[in-house]
C-alpha cells in the first residue's frame, strides 16, 4: 500500500473539504507528496494529526485554525416543515445521506451523515440544522474507524454513480467508412434475397 493510501486510511472520511482539498483522498495524496501540511483536518483533530505524524515521520503540529476548529461530532437534520424540495442538499452531500426528490420533503439518513456541513450553505431556506451527537468528545474520540470505513464506501459509491459514462475506447470504434460499407453490403445481400 502506497503512502497516500495509508494516510487516507487514517483520515476520518467525512469528505468535508475543510482541509482545502475536494476530498480526503486528494488531501492524503497532497500530504504524501509533501504538498500539504498534516494539520488541516478538523474532523480528525489533534489525534488525527498525531496519527499522520507517526505514519509520515513529520513533526506533530497544532490544528491549523484556517481550516477550522476541532469540535464535537454533529449530524444534520432537516426541518421538514420548511424544506421546499430543491435537491441542492442532495447534490452537495458527499455520502448520499440525504434522500428526497424534487419539490418533495427531504430527510437525513442519520447513520450515513458524516456531519460535513456541506449541505448547510446550499440550502436556500436554511432548514438544515446541526445536532451535537458526541457531547464533549471531539476528533477521533467522537468518530470510529467503522464510521470512517462506512463513510468512505458511501462516498466511493456516490462518486461511481455520479461519474460520466465511460467513453468508448477509440481503438474499438468502427470508422464511419467501415460502417457505411457494412450497411451497403447488408442492403445488397437483402436485395439479392428478396429477388429470389
- Tens digit of each residue's pLDDT (9 = 90 or more) over 158-182: 999 988 876 555 555 556 666 677 7
Considering only CA atoms, give the Rg of the chain: 24
CA distance from start to end of the chain: 67
52: buried, middle or exposed (CB in 10 Å: 19+, 13-18, 0-12)? buried
What is the band of 194 on the pLDDT scale with cuts at 50, 70, 90? low
From residue 102, how far is each of 86, 110, 130, 167 by CA, in Å?
6, 21, 23, 29
The upper half-sphere exposure of residue 103, i.e. CA atoms within 13 Å in the direction of its Cβ, equals 0
Nearest to 45 by CA among 25, 30, 62: 62
Res 190: pLDDT: 63
Tell me the average pLDDT across 103-123.
95
Phi, psi at 46, each rounded to 5° = -65, -35
CA distance 153 to 142: 19
Tell me the average pLDDT across 120-149.
96
Is the backbone of residue 173 left (phi > 0), alpha (psi -120 to 50) or beta? beta
Amino acid at each position: 500500500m502506497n503512502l497516500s493510501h495509508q494516510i487516507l486510511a487514517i483520515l476520518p472520511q467525512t469528505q468535508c473539504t475543510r482541509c482545502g482539498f475536494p476530498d480526503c483522498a486528494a488531501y492524503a495524496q497532497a500530504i504524501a507528496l509533501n504538498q500539504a501540511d498534516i494539520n488541516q483536518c478538523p474532523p480528525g483533530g489533534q489525534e488525527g494529526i498525531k496519527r499522520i505524524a507517526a505514519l509520515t515521520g513529520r513533526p506533530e503540529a497544532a490544528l491549523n485554525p484556517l481550516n477550522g476548529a476541532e469540535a464535537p461530532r454533529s449530524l444534520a437534520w432537516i426541518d421538514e416543515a420548511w424544506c421546499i424540495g430543491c435537491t441542492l442538499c442532495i447534490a452537495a452531500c458527499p455520502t448520499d445521506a440525504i434522500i428526497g426528490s424534487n419539490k418533495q420533503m427531504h430527510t437525513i439518513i442519520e447513520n450515513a451523515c458524516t456531519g460535513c456541513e456541506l449541505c448547510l450553505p446550499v440550502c436556500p431556506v436554511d432548514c438544515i440544522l446541526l445536532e451535537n451527537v458526541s457531547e464533549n468528545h471531539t476528533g477521533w474520540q467522537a468518530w470510529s474507524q467503522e464510521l470512517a470505513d462506512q463513510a468512505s464506501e458511501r462516498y466511493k459509491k456516490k462518486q461511481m454513480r455520479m461519474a460520466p459514462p465511460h467513453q468508448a475506447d477509440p481503438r474499438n470504434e468502427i470508422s464511419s467508412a467501415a460502417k457505411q460499407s457494412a450497411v451497403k453490403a447488408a442492403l445488397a445481400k437483402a436485395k439479392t434475397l428478396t429477388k429470389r
